[in-house]
Chains A and B, each alone.
Chain A
Amino acid sequence: MNTPSTSLSVKAFVLLFLVVLGLFLLNLGLGSVTIPVDEVAKILLGQDVENTAWQNIILKIRLPRTVTAVLVGAALSIGGLQMQTLFRNPLAGPSVLGITAGASLGVAAIMLAAGSATTAFAIRSLGIGGSWLIVLASSVGAFLVLLIILAISYRIRDNVVMLIVGIMVANITIAVVSIWQYFSDPEQIQEYILWTFGSLGGVTNHQLGVLGLIVGLGIVATFLLSKTLNALLLGEDYAQSMGLNIRRSRMLIILVTSILAGAITGFCGPIGFVGIAVPHLTRSFLNTSDHRLLIPSCVLVGAILMLFCDIISQVPGSTTVLPVNAITAMIGSPIVIWIIVKRRNLKSSF
C-alpha cells in the first residue's frame, strides 16, 4: 500500500523465491540416500543420468513429496492468514479453530462409510474419483466447523472466547472420531494415528494433480480477495462503511479457507502450526499488513517452512523418517517465540 516499500518488496520476493528453489533442490537431494544437487538438476531437466535408481528415487518418491510440501506450506499459510484477518485474531489458524479437526471428521466419515480405516494407504487405493471425494468430505467438514465458529462469533465478539469455542468444537469432532476408533480394530487405529502424524509422502502422482489444482485455484481466489481482506483489517463495521458486502465476503473467505485446509488435511493428515506461524513470520519479515504483498509472501514463506521441516523429518543420511507434524511444531514454535520476543510488533497486528 505504500509506494516507497515497493522496491523493497520486490527484493524480498526474489530472496524468498531463491530460498524456496534452494530448499526444493536440497530436499530432493537429501534423504536416506544423498544425491548431489547437480545430478538432481540433471534428472529434473530430463537429461540422462547413469544411476537409474537415483532417477527413480527422485521422480517417483522425492519429487511428489517435495511438491506436496510446497503445496501444504502454501495452502495452510494463506488459510491461516485469512482466518487471522477475518477473526482479527492473531491466534487464529486452521488447526487452532478446529478446522483441521472438522476436515479429519469428514475424512473419517468417508472411511467409516466405506468400512475402512483412514489411512494413507486406504486413501491411495481410492483412485482419482476417491481423491475428489476425500477433498469434498474434508472441505465440507472444515466448512461446517467454520460456520459454527462464525455463528458463535456473531454472538460473542471476544477473541479469547472464540479460541475456546474453536478448541471445544475441535474436541467434539475429535471425540466423534475416538468413538469410531473405539469400535475399530487395533490395526486400523494404528494406521489412523499414523495418519494424524501428518505425512507428505502419501500423495500419489495423480492425487498430486488434484491437490495442485485445488491449491492453485485457492491461491488465486485468495489473491482476488486481497482488497476485501485489507478492508477487513479495520473490522467489519468499517469494512461495511467502505462499501464491502460483509456477508458475501465472509462466506467467500470461509469457503476458500475450508477448501484449502480441507484438501491438505484430507491428503496429508492434520498438519498443525504452519497456518498460525507463517502469517506472523511473514508480517514480521515484510512489516506490512497489505494482503496484496502478504498473500504471495505467505505462499513462499509457507513453502520454505514446510520444505525445511520435511528435510529435517527425513533425517538426512539415515533411513529413519520422523512424523512431519512433530517437526513443524518443534522447529516452528521456538521461531515464533523468538520473534515475539525480538519483534514486539507481533502483538499489535490486530
Chain B
Amino acid sequence: MSDKILHTANLSVGYKDRTVLSSLNLNLNKGQLTCLLGPNGSGKSTLIRTLAGIQKPLLGMVTLQGKSLREVSPKTLAKQLSLVLTDRVTPGNLTVYGLVSLGRFPYTTWMGSLTGEDKDVIQWALEITGTMQFANRHIGELSDGEKQKVMIARALAQQTDLIILDEPTAHLDSPNRIEIFHLLRELVSSGHRAILISTHDIDTAIANADKLWLVANQSISQGAPEDLVLDGRLEKAFTKEGLSFNYSLGRFEKAINNNGLKVLIKGSSLSAYWTESALRRAGFQPVEHLPQVTIEVFDDGSTRKWILNNQLEITTIEELLTKLNTYENEME
C-alpha cells in the first residue's frame, strides 16, 4: 500500500432527489494537509459526511486504507477515521477531560472504563493540543477557540490515521484560526497522518494546504494550491461570486468595474504591498503604465513615507487615500 489513505473512485454524493457533487476521483495521502475549498452550500459537508460513512454514496465508492468503506465495520472505521464537525452544541456539564476521553469510545469496554493506555493517549492528546491546563474545566466555560482545540484533542484520542474536520475555523477570529491551522500542520508533519479540512476561507487554505480539493461545477479538481492558482482553476471556481483573483497579492477581491484614478506605485517593500491593497479597496487602479498619479513608497523598516507626484510627502496610508480622493475630485 502506498501513501494513499483514502481514495474515491467515480464517487457521486448528494441526496435522493439531488446530486450535489459527481465524478469524484480524489486521494488523501499520508503526511498531507488537504483543504476542501468551496463556497458555502457547494456540498462540502455532504462530501465529508459521505467520506465519513455517515451518508451513503449515490454512485462509486470510497476506499479507506485499501478497503471499501462499505465493508468496514463501524468499530473498525472509528479506529481509522475521526471527525471534528460543525455542531457547536456541546454538553456544558462535561469536562474537557471527559469529552476527550469519549474519543477512546472504540477502544474501551462496555462500561467505558479507561485503562492506563487510554489515559496515556488522552494525556498526549491534551498536551499536543495545548488544552492540558483546562482539562478539568467544563466545556461551557471555554472560548470558541479553546473548544475547537478540545474537539481536535477528542479526535486525536481516537488514534486514527485520518482526521476530517468540517469548517473547524468557521467561528474563530484570525489569531485562533492561525493557531488551529498551525496545530494541524504540526499533526500532519509526523508523517503517518492525513488531515482533510473543509473551509471557505481561501487565503488560509492557500497558505496552509499541501493540496486543495477545489469544488467547481459540481465536481472537484485537486492539486497543489499554487498549481491551481497559476493555471487559473482557483479563480474560475470562485468567479460565480463576482470575485477576481489578485495574482500579485495572492487573494481574492471583489471585482470592481471602476474607472478610478490610475496610480503607479513605485517601490517593492512591504509598505508597497499594503499600499496597493489599500488603493484597490478604495477603488483606485494600480497600473504599470500611463499613470495619472505616481506614488513613491519609502520604507526603511522603521519609518515609512509616501511621495505623491514627486512633491507631496505623506506619512500614513489613510492620509494618502484622502489626498488621492481630493485629487480625483479636482480632476473631474
Contact = CB atoms under 8 A, between A and B. Distances in A.
A233 B89 CA distance: 10
Interface string A318-350: 000000000000000000000000000101111
Contacts of A347: 92
B75 to A, nearest CB: 4
Contact of A231 (B76, B82, B89, B102): B102
Contacts of B95: 1-2, 288
A217 interface: no
Contacts of A235: 85, 87, 89
B111 A350 contact: no
A243 B53 CA distance: 11
A292 B74 contact: no
A345 B93 contact: yes
Contact of A238 (B83, B93, B98): B83
A238 B92 contact: no
Contact of B111 (A227, A240, A289): A227
A238 B78 CA distance: 10
Contacts of A292: 111-112
A349 B92 contact: yes
Interface residues of A, number: 31
Contact of A241 (B78, B112, B136): B78
B78 A4 contact: no
B136 A2 contact: yes
Contact of A227 (B76, B98, B112): B112
A185 B28 CA distance: 73
A287 B112 contact: no
Contacts of B79: 243
B74 A345 contact: no
B106 interface: yes
A124 interface: no
Interface in A280-305: 283, 287-290, 292
Contact of B158 (A242, A244, A245): A242
Contact of A1 (B81, B90, B97, B158): B97
A289 B91 contact: yes
A233 B54 CA distance: 17
B83 A237 contact: yes
Contact of A237 (B87, B99, B112, B138): B87
Given A233-B94, A243-B74, A224 B110 contact: yes
A235 to B, nearest CB: 5
B93 A237 contact: no
Contacts of B94: 1, 233, 288-290
A238 B89 CA distance: 12
A230 B92 contact: no
B279 to A, nearest CB: 46
A61 B156 CA distance: 58
Contact of A243 (B77, B87, B140): B77
A310 to B, nearest CB: 29
Given A226-B112, A289-B98, A241 B83 contact: yes
Interface string A1-32: 11010000000000000000000000000000
B111 A237 contact: no
A1 B98 contact: yes
B87 A241 contact: no
B82 to A, nearest CB: 6
A2 B91 contact: no
A129 B53 CA distance: 47
A130 B98 CA distance: 46
Nearest to A241: B83
B102 A242 contact: yes
Contacts of B53: 240
Contacts of B93: 283, 287-289, 345, 348-349
Contacts of B52: 241
Contacts of B76: 243
A347 B136 CA distance: 20
Contacts of A287: 93, 138
Contacts of B83: 237-238, 241
Interface in A228-284: 230-231, 233-235, 237-238, 240-245, 283
Contact of B140 (A230, A237, A345): A345
Interface string B256-293: 00000000000000000000000000000000000000
Interface string B52-87: 111000000000000000000011111101110101
Nearest to A88: B89
Nearest to A283: B93
B102 A241 contact: no
B103 interface: yes
Nearest to B135: A2
Contacts of A348: 91-93, 140
A226 B111 contact: yes
A230 to B, nearest CB: 6
A348 B106 CA distance: 27
Nearest to A288: B93
A227 B140 contact: no
Nearest to A231: B105
Interface string B6-43: 00000000000000000000000000000000000000
Given A237-B87, A350-B91, 14 more contacts: A1-B95, A2-B136, A233-B102, A234-B91, A234-B99, A235-B87, A235-B89, A242-B82, A290-B94, A345-B140, A349-B92, A349-B93, A350-B89, A350-B92
Interface of B: 49, 52-54, 74-79, 81-83, 85, 87, 89-95, 97-99, 101-103, 105-106, 108, 110-112, 136, 138, 140, 158
Interface of A: 1-2, 4, 88, 224, 226-227, 230-231, 233-235, 237-238, 240-245, 283, 287-290, 292, 345, 347-350
6 contacts: A233-B94, A234-B90, A245-B74, A288-B94, A345-B140, A348-B140
